[in-house]
Structure 1
């Protein structure tokens, strides 16, 4: 089974060249609503956020872009740390003449939008960060002095190469995450994820060396910020609270029964809560 997603006829897509010449691909719903820029997680791409874009398209001009190394964007060897990802996002805003958007990101993208708000406090109107990578816990074994696990990075690289060794049809059957969506009747999402896995560059594994440390970034975020987290235990919630409390106008929400992919696991609850937040910022 293969499912090809067609963008709605009134959506547009294109490329923007950021400061170092890297071209970033984007799709845009258009319309008269305020801009909402969506940053995807690692290994995904902007089109993986098509369901979310549809949910918000009636009220927002939704822009979903492919981070460097992902989707249809260029994939240089470097530029995957938090500051570079933030600069890419601002370069996209400049290229599209977008002023004061809401920034919404998941995982790597959640990390990116927080770093962007910290480094460029006058650019966003508000931030929604969903299970940002900088808050997630990592195994401390075999890490060097910078906190990077070489074994983890290499393992992830091998995973990317494994995807590239398979066809889309094979990924729909053999990849645990993707085949799970097929079995759940989510053919479109499975297809989008498979396409993204085939396009992602192994260079993106460098991103695991450069997450935004809450202690280094969060206190510099000036705009209203909602951090949406998975359903985790009490100890993890306390750690989350300590980090989000560093954001002067930060709010923390744990979504019951949601895993890391909060919007996919609890779409209605997450969407409703984000809308409530955006209605007052």
Structure 2
């Protein structure tokens, strides 16, 4: 009689042990930033989503990072973030996981995750939006946030490495008079990252993604508001399809990749132009006029490119080697910068809100910063001369994330611009 009872007891013990060792659930690590790991279990094992909290605004998420596999062997838990490459290696001790966190570029640091009690989970995404995933190309889906609202549509586009969640706190402030959306570009956040090729990350390809989302969700004549590198998507759409949009808002997004000033060097745009022209030169069916036009553009660009390369060569002299592993987002960002284009001014209503002169402490008096700010000032002046109807607003001392450092100013200018558009 004892044998069956002992076997049953052993079975119950194993069952309890298995449940006790189940790591599925929400784990939280305090600090700056706070971190949240949501682990789930399926037929293939453990996987999950990882979140940073506290991007300049408390409680605002930086966006999720996929964790395609969480290793759990003999109490040791290991995982890495799919896109950024950060890793964690720790030991499960009851309701905590104690270990070391290492980013791609930083030193290892101690980190303790605690299992969140039911009802005690930190709010990962407090912003009132719906999530969509829209196919913009075979095999490529983009994350689209929909904050709702009534009135003409407004679409936010984030800067490089940012996601639609960059506007989680800001976008809802427009829903009283607009239907507000946000798009996470390919290669970043929860959006798909297609192979890192020139074609997949070309400036016009990114612009076409925005158009594809507009078409899929039947968004009619939206105003596009973009930060930083999103300026090239604004200019791509605005110069090629002005009839499809209601206006453009550049949030400190007026740089060489969004408006090309022939009087200034731009390493990214000039090198991309020469590379494309050389490729096209040998792809063209023989055309004397077409060939001469391409050669003329190459010859006109080469002196500027040479000047820029000489400056880069001087800047890198004596710089120490800092080897690191590039993440998917690094590679996507690099490919975006190597596939910029020469855009002029779009024939559509434009508002440009610029951090000019930018927040620069503690480097304001250093020669490189003085040179940078002078170039930015000259670029903004060239844009104004090329587009007298555009409204350019300069906010002195603002940060590059201008809608955060100077929210009231940006809200005022955006609302005035939006209210003045024909509906």
Which bracket does the TM-score occupy, shorter chain normalised?
Answer: 0.7 to 0.9
Indicate the residue corresponding to 1:186 in structure 2.
none
- Structure 1 residue 135: deviation in Å? 3.5
Q: Is the 8 A contact 1:255 1:270 kept in 2?
A: no
Give CA deviations for 1:5-49 in whole Å, capped at 9, x if unaligned: 32445x211111113441111110112221100110000111111
Match of 2:164 in 1: 46
Q: Comparing 16-25 with 122-131, which one deviates more in the overlay?
A: 16-25
The SS at the match of 2:143 is: strand
- 1:269 matched to 2:409? The reply is yes
1:15 and 2:140 aligned: no
Structure ranking higher in strand proportion: 2
State yes or no: 1:205 paired with 2:334: yes
Q: Deviation of residue 246 (structure 1)? A: 2.4
Does residue 99 of structure 1 match 2:220?
yes
SS of alignment partner, residue 268 of structure 1: helix
> For 2:182, what is the secondary structure of its paired residue?
strand
Q: CA deviation at 1:231?
A: 1.8
Displacement of 1:160 after TM fit?
5.4
Tell me what 2:291 maps to: none
Structure 2 SS opposite 1:128: strand
Asked if structure 2 preserves the Cα contact closer than 8 Å seen for 1:263 and 1:270, the reply is yes
Whole-Å Cα distance in 2 between the matches of residues 129 and 61 of structure 1?
Answer: 19
- Cα 1:212–1:266 shift into 2, 3 Å: farther
TM-score of the two chains, using structure 2 as the length reference: 0.50
- Native 8 Å contact 2:134 2:216 kept in 1: yes
Which residue number corresponds to residue 223 of structure 1?
A: 348
Instruction: Give ranges in structure 2 of 5+ residues lacking alignment.
Output: 1-29, 35-52, 54-122, 258-263, 276-304, 358-372
Partner SS for 2:137: coil
Give, in angstroms, the shift of residue 115 of structure 1. Answer: 1.6
Alignment partner, residue 362 of structure 2: none
Greater share of helix: 1
Q: How far apart, in 2, do the equivalents of 1:61 and 1:156 lie?
A: 45
Name the SS for the 1:205 alignment partner.
helix
* Greater relative CO, 1 or 2 (CA 8 Å, sep 6+): 1
Answer yes or no: is 1:55 the counterpart of 2:178. no
| Shift, 1:260, TM fit | 1.7
Structure 1 length normalisation: TM-score?
0.73
1:46-97 deviation digits (Å, cap 9, x = unpaired): 1111122122222221111110001111111232221111101001100110
Residue 113 (1) aligns with residue 242 (2): no
Matches for 1:1-281 after TM superposition, within 5 Å = 1=30, 2=34, 3=53, 4-8=123-127, 11-76=129-194, 77-78=196-197, 79-132=200-253, 134-135=255-256, 158=324, 161=327, 200=329, 202-213=331-342, 217-219=343-345, 221-232=346-357, 233=373, 236-247=376-387, 249-281=389-421
Distance 1:230 1:160, change over 3 A: farther
Report SS of the residue matched to 1:18.
strand
Report the Cα distance in structure 1 between the residues aligned to 2:412 and 2:251, rounded to whole angstroms.
14
The alpha-carbon deviation at position 251 of structure 1 amounts to: 2.1
1:249-274 CA distance string (max 9 Å, x none): 32211112112221122111122111
Q: Is the 8 A contact 2:254 2:352 kept in 1?
A: no
* Contact 2:255-2:379 within 8 A present in 1 as well: no
Structure 1 residues without counterparts, runs of 5 or longer: 162-198
Q: Name the CA distance, whole Å, in 2 between partners of 1:229 and 1:158.
A: 33
